[in-house]
Amino acid sequence: MSKSVITAERLYEQSIDEIVQSLLANRNGTTLVMGHMGTGKSSILKILAEKLPTHVPCLFDGTTKDLGDLYIPKILGMDDDAQFVRFVPNEEFGLHHGKPVILMFDEYGKMNPNVKNACMETMLSHKVGGKKLPEGSIVFATTNLGGEGVGDLLMPHHRNRITVVRMAKPTPQLWIENFAYNNGIHPALIMWVAEEGDKLFQSFEDVQNPDDNPYIFHPKAQRPSFVTPRSLALASNWLWAKDEITSNALQSNLMGTIGAKAGADLRSFIELVDQLPKQEEIRTSPETAKLPETSSAIMMVVHRALSTMSKEFVDPWMTYLNRLDSESQGFFAMQVRSPKYKKQGLVMTNKKFTDWCMANNYMFTADKK
């Protein structure tokens, strides 16, 4: 592994939460967000839409557009001397809604150069075909890092009209807390990421020799598949479907999703699943459901509970949780108390959970929400 070169842009790269805060704070300009592939740049639009429910989220997919796809001419006027042309914009700009929009130019760096030039009016002045976007609209763009070598090019005169920032890769823990628990990621994969995450989420900029990290994308290596937060989510789908396919098919599908090394390692890791009690067993018999034999398997049960929590499951789960070691109980409570955990209200208003907090007040104070 080489000593990485830290540029000013990388030193001050922003988390996805910081980027969202910045976009909300300054709606007059346009920000281009550069980041590693598969790290959730497009999810910025979803997060902004959740925070601004009266706005219309609009995704402008730049890679599918040619210049003629942006506007079509509409000839106005009856007399030959008075005729003129007005251009009707593509619906992906969102102007027809008549409401404030959150307009994301996706894959801006890969756009056709003519399309980039045509979009400059919107990015610079928030106008579409000469008409101003509604007050309060947000315009931003996303693209990959130039060093990834996937065709993202920015001309100096384009850069000078916008703000260009780098989005940081999430840490394994942030990916688990902010995404995995809230999106049904398989507990075995969550636990694998928790144990192997530093390697899985490493930047290629920190790895001079690609052989030093066979899991990740590296521009110096020809890897048909590799680990990114996006491909991990796709691998989770195969784990949930593993009982419906052969072991060979599972191995092949994982390797084709996250790479040969990662797929093989994850396949070996999920053998721990056999030690886990079934979710239904905990739901119906929490006092007698079997306890995992290893600490890793225990944590997998906890991760699974956090991922699949429902109102009906909280009571039996809390009964079962009290049979686990105090460290596992504390870990569960800490994750529930995270403001990013979307099922927090289900758990924190449950009497068994609040009773647990009271009994363990040397660790936590119960907060009812």
Cβ–Cβ under 8 Å, residues 173 and 64: no
SS3 letters across 80-96:
HHHCEEEEEECHHHCHH
pLDDT at 318: 96
- Give the separation between CA 267 and CA 238, rounded to whole angstroms: 11
pLDDT of residue 369: 45
Q: Measured between alpha carbons, how far is 320 from 298 in angstroms, rounded to an integer?
A: 11
CATH class of domain segment(s) 8-166? alpha beta
The tokens describing 225, both together, are 């598949």
Check residue 149 and give its pLDDT. Answer: 64
| pLDDT at 270 (0 to 100) | 84
Tokens of 96: 């027809």
CB 320 within 8 A of CB 278: no
Cα angle at 175 between 197 and 236, to 5 degrees?
80
Question: Which residue type occupies 125?
Answer: S
Q: Consecutive 10-residue runs of the chain (369 residues): their mean pLDDT?
A: 61 92 94 92 94 95 87 73 76 90 91 87 88 93 79 72 91 92 90 89 92 93 93 96 94 96 91 79 94 86 91 95 93 91 92 91 52
Tell me the C-alpha distance between 204 and 220, whole Å: 9
Asked whether the beta carbons of 276 and 304 are under 8 A apart, the reply is: yes
Residues 279 and 291: their CA atoms lie apart, in Å, by 12
Provide the pLDDT for residue 111.
87
The residues, any chain, with a CB within 8 Å of residue 251's CB and separated by 6 or more, are 263, 264, 267
- Closest CA relative to residue 192, chosen from 301, 265, 274, 256: 265
**Per residue in 333-365, pLDDT tens?**
999 998 889 899 999 999 999 999 988 874 555
Domain boundary assignment for the chain: 8-166, 172-359
Query: Pick from 69, 98, 74: which is nearest to 84 by CA?
Result: 74
